[in-house]
Amino acid sequence: MSTQDKWPRFGFIGTGNMGGALARALRRRVPGENILLSNRTYEKAAVLAAELGCAAERDNQAVAAKAEYIFLGVKPQGMACMLGDIAPALRARRDRFILVNIAAGLNIEDLRRMAGSDYPVINLKPNTPAAIGQGMSLYLCSPDITKAEEALFLEALEGSGRLLSLPEKLMDIGGVLAGCGPAFVDMFIEALADGGVACGLPRATATELAAQMVAGSAGLVLESGKHPGQLKDEVCSPGGVTIQGVRALERSGFRSAVIEGVIAAYEKNGSLK
């Protein structure tokens, strides 16, 4: 059996930042011949298709009619309209297919209601580092997804990074933490670099130092299994330099600001339903 024959067709409706990141991750495992792309602006899908060596379709209905795994990469506010447009193509199918939702704030029943039928659904909450194979994605399968279908889905997305299954009640906050978190971390990296520049480092050097430090620190948390607080304590020597920086951050409400940012994003996510 050829590599192409092993895989079903994966279709992406919407090739924005998140849809594009997942398509790139999928391409690490899946042949281009098995990937279809569509976008509101065809030229955007065509550019990504040329990069990945796959096909760009002129409309969403073509992806809906052909792909076995249909990734829905439109904004939550546009999901009902898009699903209404492709509903005739879905109804006309006699083969099995799975809808893969990557929009925030929507659960499995939301998707089924908008699509007009109890189709098999995988709710996927990815993040942008999936584009370089360092993502943290959360997923939940509807009860009618088979173990084989779930296993194939996970194998296809191995190139995106880590995947974790969560129950429905935790998907929203898990998706906010993993999905919004990169923006918060990017702000932290930028602020660290600004501090370095203020003290004389060239901008490019400061950014590289800050970004690699954050990547390495995150890797140490995952690989060591130690609590972040313990790792922080290991850097803070008594009367040393680091603890004075920690003191200044705490005085400015650093941890409280981060907690409030997560809660604000979670509350906004809930308002989208």
Q: Does 17 belong to an annotated binding site?
A: yes
Using CA atoms, how far apart are residues 118 and 226, in angstroms rounded to an integer?
Answer: 43
Asked if residues 70 and 97 have their Cβ atoms less than 8 Å apart, the reply is yes
Say how many residues make up the chain: 273
Instruction: Pick the closest to residue 100 from 117, 82, 125 (CA basis).
Output: 125
What angle do the packed helices 76-92 and 108-115 form, to 10 degrees?
A: 60
Q: Does 253 belong to an annotated binding site?
A: no
Using CA atoms, how far apart are residues 179 and 136, in angstroms rounded to an integer?
Answer: 8
Coil, strand, or helix at residue 196?
A: helix
Q: Which residue has the tokens 């409280």?
A: 256
User: DSSP of 79-122, one letter per residue?
Assistant: HHHHHHHHHHHHHH--S--EEEE--TT--HHHHHHHHTS---EE
Asked if residues 20 and 48 have their Cβ atoms less than 8 Å apart, the reply is yes
Q: Does 174 belong to an annotated binding site?
A: no
Q: Which amino acid is at 243?
A: I
Q: Does 101 belong to an annotated binding site?
A: no
Q: Does 16 belong to an annotated binding site?
A: yes
Q: In what order do the strands lie in the sheet with 135-141?
A: 55-56, 35-38, 10-13, 69-72, 98-101, 121-125, 135-141, 161-165
Q: Which residues are annotated as a binding site?
A: 13-18, 60
Q: Which residues are annotated as a binding site for NADPH?
A: 60
Q: Which residues are annotated as a binding site for NADP(+)?
A: 13-18
